[in-house]
Amino acid sequence: MSVDTAPPTASPEKPPAPSLRRILPPVVTGQEIVLLAVIVVLWVLLGLFTPAFLSPGSIGPLLVQVAPIALVGVGMTFVIITAGIDVSVAAMIMVSAVVTARMMVSLDLPAPLALLVAIAIGLALGAINGLLIAYGRVHPIIITFGTANVFQWLGLRVFDSSTVNGIPSTLDFLGRGEAGVTLGVPHSFAIALVAVAAAWWFLRYAKGGRNLYAIGGNANAARLAGIKVQPRLVWVYAITGALAGLAACMMIATGTSSLDQSVGSGKELQVIAAVVIGGTSILGGRGSVVGTLLGAILVQTVVSGVTQLGWPTQLGFLLVGIFIVIAVGTDLIRERARRRA
């Protein structure tokens, strides 16, 4: 007697694990490759027309000038990824620089304490921005434009309409002289590279970094997913302020033994330009600190190149503006194409 046996039922297949490429931003984007190519072409052309440009005496100071832009740009990348912006970074640099410089003159602070003071001041100012933005529910550009004026007023009061003179050489290791360079690499630029590397790892592999992309993509959806949006916004702006404080120390070191009220002037535009040119979306949800570093190098290359060629300074601003328009236009076109897909 035969017994009919039903064919074995196939076990339900497990859905394939999501690819890391779908979760994480790419290691190197096409825009970063284009930026690197543009920088190489510019350096080659500048080397042909002004051979001194590629000399160590020219590249070293250029990297020193890039360092504070790239450093603050790391924090600004975090901010813009969350669909925010901070136009008060120049004012935070100013306040941190003048208070630290005055304390260095009056109290003869050692280097670690001077760095701590500047970073703490920047952190506090950035946290004010973060608290107002996260819990005040006002657009970041309005808040930071307002605080930029308040911080600038505060800095001018500390300056008391006079320069800070007799600043000791405490922070020379962050400057452009022999004390600030090891094996041809400026210490300030090395610090910026470390910050970029740490931020790259954080954004790519840490849960907190991925949460920033989620907040910038859709803050309401991020809240529903259990992400604490407001505290993260506070620390993003606080970190930006802390990096502005560290950048202030670099700017103290790269100057002479005096500090005037123009310290930090225009840095907010250079930082935002570096971040946007580097491929971070002004709409939020997408960005790269590696791109920011390349954007900072490109911005400073244009500024330094125009100066060495003897061209009008305004031409440098024009070229940087053209790069910004191209980057923003490309970002908007890419976003529209993504929404249509």
pLDDT, tens digit (0-9, with 9 covering 90-100), for 52-109? 888 888 899 999 999 999 999 999 999 999 999 999 999 999 999 999 999 999 998 9
- For the chain, the average pLDDT equals 89
What's the confidence (pLDDT) of residue 19?
A: 43
Percent of the chain whose predicted confidence (pLDDT) is above 70: 91
What's the confidence (pLDDT) of residue 284?
A: 92
What's the confidence (pLDDT) of residue 313?
A: 85
What's the confidence (pLDDT) of residue 196?
A: 97
Confidence of residue 317 (pLDDT cuts 50, 70, 90): confident
Cβ(91)–Cβ(147) below 8 Å: yes
What's the confidence (pLDDT) of residue 25?
A: 55
Residue 230, token pair as written in the block: 């407001």
Task: Give 20-85 as a 3 state SS string.
Answer: HHHHCCCCCCHHHHHHHHHHHHHHHHHHHHCHHHHCHHHHHHHHHHHHHHHHHHHHHHHHHHCCCC
What's the confidence (pLDDT) of residue 17?
A: 41
Confidence of residue 18 (pLDDT cuts 50, 70, 90): very low
Decide: helix, strand or coil at residue 181: strand
Over 80: is that where the pLDDT of 24 sits? no
Cβ(310)–Cβ(71) below 8 Å: no
Tell me what the mean pLDDT of segment 20-48 comes to: 78
- At 155, the amino acid letter reads G
Burial 88-108 (b: 16+ CB within 10 A, else e): bbbbbbbbbbbbbbbebbeee
What's the confidence (pLDDT) of residue 178?
A: 83
Cβ(174)–Cβ(253) below 8 Å: yes
What's the confidence (pLDDT) of residue 122?
A: 98
Over 60: is that where the pLDDT of 16 sits? no
Q: What Rg do the C-alpha atoms of the chain give, in angstroms?
A: 23
Ranked by mean pLDDT, which of 8-12, 52-56, 151-155, 310-314 comes out on top?
Answer: 151-155
What's the confidence (pLDDT) of residue 10?
A: 46
Tell me what the mean pLDDT of segment 169-195 comes to: 92
Cβ(248)–Cβ(96) below 8 Å: yes
List, for residues 117-172, the tens digit of each pLDDT value: 999 999 999 999 999 999 998 999 999 999 999 999 999 999 988 899 999 999 99
Ranked by mean pLDDT, which of 44-58, 63-77, 320-334 comes out on top?
Answer: 63-77
What CA–CA distance (Å, rounded) separates 305 from 39?
11
When comparing pLDDT for 7 and 272, which is higher? Answer: 272
List, for residues 202-222, the tens digit of each pLDDT value: 999 999 999 999 999 999 999
What's the confidence (pLDDT) of residue 125?
A: 98
Confidence of residue 269 (pLDDT cuts 50, 70, 90): very high
What CA–CA distance (Å, rounded) separates 100 from 75?
21
